[in-house]
Structure 1
Amino acid sequence: MSARLERLATPRLPRWLRMAWHHPVTAAGAVMLAALAFVALAGPWLWPGDPWDMAGAPTLWPGEDPAFPLGTDLMGRDVAAALVSGARVSLLIGLVSTLLSAVLGVLVGALSGFYRGAVDTVLGRVTEVFQTVPKFVLAVVLVALFKPSVTTEVIAIGIVSWPATARLVRAEFLRLREREFVLAAETMGMADWRLILTQILPNALPPVVVVSTLTVANAIQTEAALAFLGLGDPNVMSWGTLIGGGRDQVVDAWYLCALPGAAIVVAVLAFNLLGEGLSDLLNPHLKRRVLA
């Protein structure tokens, strides 16, 4: 009784603070991601102007000129403005391509797991075909077949990223298909599409959210690799473009590769930490213990 009164007398922290306290990994990933989002959104006001413009003397080192805190590249372009532009491009491509892969993966996995039988066999073979081809090689082929652009990169990365989501959704649908609430709704005559959208899919989405955070990280890496190889959009400045442009001066001006490389590491680490934390938070047993 006294312990209960003591708990009642103790001021309770807000729910989000308790989650952050018990899951510092999630909090760290969220903070890093918020910082990246702020830089990407506020960048046009913090560093106005075209990142392609030659704004100063070439190869100024970071801190050498206060007007260019992160230095300039071989053409005298502001590295800080280029990094901000790269943040917008990388986050845009990563998020939109992940959304595309999630839609494709959920559609294929839901149909495969719900109908099973011949539908599951056919869609399973299609998924296996995409999984047997290395994702990056397929992305390179798809981008090379068409004019390199942000749209092409988004479509290519989305196409090569959906099989993992499809297999996960299929497994969740197979697990939930025979649950009592689904069978009861089916007995009441509910249409298949309503069963999928209102009964099964909402319960299958939590693991998809976790996988999607990791897919964003992989998409950012893939976009940087494509841009490094010269397959990125020539009209936008991305982190991969910066690394590719500075590789010839990696000895004399290593910061040209190090700074965008560090930005990629931070972005990928942020999404991976967030995914790891969400995996724990979406665990019902752990979530009840944290919120108790």
Structure 2
Amino acid sequence: MLDHDLLSAIQRNDLHWLEANASQMSADWRKFIHSKSGDTALHVAASAGCTQVLGWLLSQGCDRCLEQQNADGKRPLHCAVQASHLPIVKILLDHGATIDPLKRADWTPLMLACTKRNLQVIRHLIENGANLRLENKDGWTSFHLACREGDKEIVNYLLDVDGSVWNNVTKNGRTPLHTAAMHGKEGVIRILLSRGSYSTDEVDACGNTPLLEALRMGHRNIAELLIMEHNASVYTKDKTGRMGIHVAAEAGQGEMVKFLLESHGVDVNLLSETGEL
């Protein structure tokens, strides 16, 4: 059990307390586990960004916890990355932490780093061998996640590392372009259109195109960009036979409906394949 005094000392980076009480601690740090989170002392120090304490723990045999998983399947490296603590990431990797361990749902540290939009951490992981092509259980790669978050510098960097990483689909057929369109990331879409080679009106498993996603979510700027620069069609149908105007209307996106009617001449009485207006 990771007792309160030890946990508190680690969290406040109190190396003096740890050194003074070291004789009372077991040599096997693996037995010091937080009762709820399953965190080891190394997890706690990594999350809190306590470099001095982390170094001391590793020197005292806590390196045996480098690959230990907590209740969420995270290892200390996952915790350091999620908290964007680059010095901690460097220390853990220098001590031999596995670069691409999987947490629950098959998330690697690089995937977590891409959700935190920390280019320095991402760069360090990749320079130490992190695999940009690994997928989680849903088929999402680190690049998909970076496109969702919308940091243009990171997206460009990942494309510099692997120029074909844009060419990937999730288990339900979604491309990074679908993801960026759904989340309204105009800058990322411009990068994807200029550096990738996406087919116009590429559909996912449900027949949704990036344009349909933009219309559903009310991103007029994205819809206009896809229509004008990617030749996306306002008449492409999803698997239920609905076109953009039906998708926008169903989602309650009145401005998108108005945009299609006034800017692109869509017939307000246009029927879907099921006969819906």
- How does the TM-score come out when normalised to structure 1? 0.21
- How does the TM-score come out when normalised to structure 2? 0.22
Higher relative contact order (CA 8 A, sep 6+): 1
Question: Between Structure 1 and Structure 2, which shows a larger proportion of helix residues?
Answer: 1
